[in-house]
Amino acid sequence: MGMTMIENLLARKAGVKQVRPGDIVTVEVDMCVMIDLQFATLWIEPSRIHDPDKVAVIMDHAVPAPTLKDAAGGPKARKFVADFGIQKFFDVGRHGICHQVIAENGLARPGEVLACTDSHTCAGGAYNTAARGLGPAELYSILCTGSTWFQVAPTVRYELTGQLPPEISGKDVFLYLADSYGDATNQNLEFSGTGLASVPLNDRRTIATQAAEISADFATFGVDELLAEFLAERGVQDYQPAAADPDAEYLDVRTIDLGALQPYVARPGTVSHNGVPVSDIEQRKIDQAFISNLDRNAQSTAIIRAVIGLGHGLNLPVSAEGVETNEQMNFLKRESCDEVQGFLFGRPQPIEAYAALVGRAPSAPEQILRAG
């Protein structure tokens, strides 16, 4: 009997020919991603680390530092990076939500294992990576040994067919799955099929990210032409993709017709079995609209332009929240967005103020606070 996508990946990284659900395997970790919070909480610098080239440090959740404790973590992170010669360091000015930084910089590679303390690290599954959020103690162990262990869970395969309509996002796909099938506790999710080519990478990342909300162990996508082009643009090469064997054994195989999906709404409360199609909701006045899950593809660009045009047509300012990089800021400036709010500001600011502050490229969070 063959193995599923994640089983093949874990078997190769464990150096064994085959794994089965229930097996406990010790695997090599290819990328250990540390975020700023780890340096602010009970940080003890190790005497040695396994491999500096397999470590990335990202200033993430606490920029600018909201407390003195968080502010003290920044210098500890910089000292650690300098002491061990870590090159993949995303300090203030290059910082951002770790999942976005991981994606933009090619840190999640097909057929490899990535670990980070953020619970939504499973976003890396969109790149055919066994990406998992682990606790600080586990990550510290990986930092020093270069390995960790997992218990192999059974896999549910989602066979995607049809074409994803322009008005349907990855979040709609996830909400449909969560509403239809519920929790995936102690299960792996695998996404493949002829419809995969119509799902943009940012939507794949949304689906993989949200797998944490239904308690899945891993959520992985296959490698196709779209992903290969994305990786090539970022200089990612010489990887070994993980694929399922034709005779792989699954806990369940579920076919999803992407073309039949509707926009979904998540109701308050639990995630599982708690979504509803928008068409089932009565009309109501909207006081504030928040549009998320936007990336730099043609579909998202069209949505951004439409929102900015609508706001300006109503003589209302348009704010963009969660601006994390210069690239995003410059794009929004070209599209005539009025205000941005990101990690350098606690409230919306004119886009010129954001550009001026980023241009100073400070070396410490304290300088950002003073500049703001």
Q: What is the percentage of the chain residues whose pLDDT exceeds 90?
A: 61
DSSP-derived 3-state class of residue 339: strand
What is d(CA 132, CA 212) in angstroms, rounded to the nearest whole number? Answer: 9
Given a cut of 70, whether residue 21 has pLDDT beyond it is yes
- pTM of the shown model: 0.81
More confident residue, 143 or 310: 143
Report the DSSP pairing between strands 55-58 and 147-151: unpaired
Contact present, 152 and 185 (Cβ < 8 Å)? no
Give the pair of three-digit tokens for residue 6: 């994640």
Mean pLDDT of the chain: 87
State the number of CA atoms in the 13 A half-sphere of 154 facing the CB: 8
pLDDT of residue 222: 95
Annotate 81-120 with b (16+ C-beta within 10 A) or e (fewer): beebebebbbbbbebbbbbbbbbebbbbbbbbbbbbbbeb
**What number is the average pLDDT over the span 239-247?**
96
Close Cβ partners of 45 (under 8 Å, ≥ 6 residues apart): 76, 79, 80, 83
Residue type for position 71: A
Give the pair of three-digit tokens for residue 260: 């039949």
Question: pLDDT-based confidence at 362, cuts 50/70/90?
Answer: very low
In a 10 Å sphere around its CB, with 0-12 CB exposed, 13-18 middle and 19+ buried, how is residue 346 labelled?
exposed
Close Cβ partners of 119 (under 8 Å, ≥ 6 residues apart): 133, 212
Report the DSSP pairing between strands 252-257 and 88-90: unpaired
End-to-end C-alpha distance for the chain, whole angstroms = 61
pLDDT of residue 289: 64
pLDDT of residue 164: 95
Contact present, 10 and 152 (Cβ < 8 Å)? yes
Fold adopted by 5-266: Aconitase; domain 3 (3.30.499)
Given a cut of 70, whether residue 42 has pLDDT beyond it is yes
Given a cut of 90, whether residue 128 has pLDDT beyond it is yes
Listing DSSP states for 159-211 in one string gives EEES---TT--HHHHHHHHHHHH---TT-EEEEESGGGGGS-HHHHHHHHHHG
Q: Give backbone dihedrals phi and psi of 321, rounded to 5 degrees, phi first.
A: -100, 150
Is the bond preceding residue 64 a cis peptide, omega within 30 degrees? Answer: yes
CB atoms closer than 10 angstroms to residue 226: 15
Which alpha helices (DSSP H) does 217-361 contain, by range? 225-233, 298-313, 326-334, 351-359
pLDDT of residue 95: 83
Given a cut of 60, whether residue 367 has pLDDT beyond it is no
pLDDT of residue 64: 80
Q: For the chain, what are the domain ranges?
A: 5-266, 298-371
Question: pLDDT-based confidence at 365, cuts 50/70/90?
Answer: very low
